[in-house]
A and B are shown apart, each in its own frame.
Chain A
């Protein structure tokens, strides 16, 4: 049973467009929600993260939107660029432990 459900599995966006990746969770014990970006041949790297008491966080072209009542959060990439082509993972951390649970990943391709 996947504790963090991520969609879509793959996404193709034109250069300059908006990329949107969605995640949903059930466990209310999660207290941090990070997003990781992974390029081929590399390990995932932290991209941006949000706490559940904030509805939105923006860093440059990357924005997390968080809906606590719906238990959903999403990553928006504005003005998507070919260099954004990567696999993106949403994740959630248990408040009582250090461990993080990851979503299944979204392979994003930005077409020039």
Chain B
């Protein structure tokens, strides 16, 4: 089974800090995604990547950037954390032939104080 690992389960950061959320998958998948999950809003797509060094904006990219220097790693960057970025962040990957089968990590709950 594909494993998607998010480096931190819980993070507490201060307003204005630069925050890095790391995600690693072990199945050589081309596609990787970052979502945030908020009650009543479901999962909203922040950024996704089709391949190394390629990225595309999702529905809510403002205040975020991403980096994909290696195929297995997709990082989400909060350039200057704000309290409205307090949320659960979920990383997912998808490989060829799995039309709708995203594999999600367990999530990082980020609190910005």
Contact = CB atoms under 8 A, between A and B. Distances in A.
Interface in A71-110: 89, 91, 93, 98-105
A27 to B, nearest CB: 13
Contacts of B58: 99
B100 A100 contact: yes
A32 B48 CA distance: 18
B42 A103 contact: yes
B43 interface: yes
Most buried by A among B35, B43, B90, B107: B43
Interface residues of A, number: 24
Most buried by B among A6, A42, A93, A102: A102
Nearest to A3: B59
Interface residues of B, number: 25
B101 A44 contact: no
A42 B106 contact: yes
Given A49-B100, A104-B41, A98 B48 contact: yes
A46 B100 CA distance: 8
A45 B104 contact: yes
Given A32-B100, A93-B99, A99-B33, A43 B45 contact: no
B48 A99 contact: yes
Interface of A: 2, 6, 9, 32, 34, 36, 41-46, 49, 89, 91, 93, 98-105
Interface of B: 4, 31, 33, 35, 40-45, 48, 50, 58-59, 90, 92, 94, 99-102, 104-107
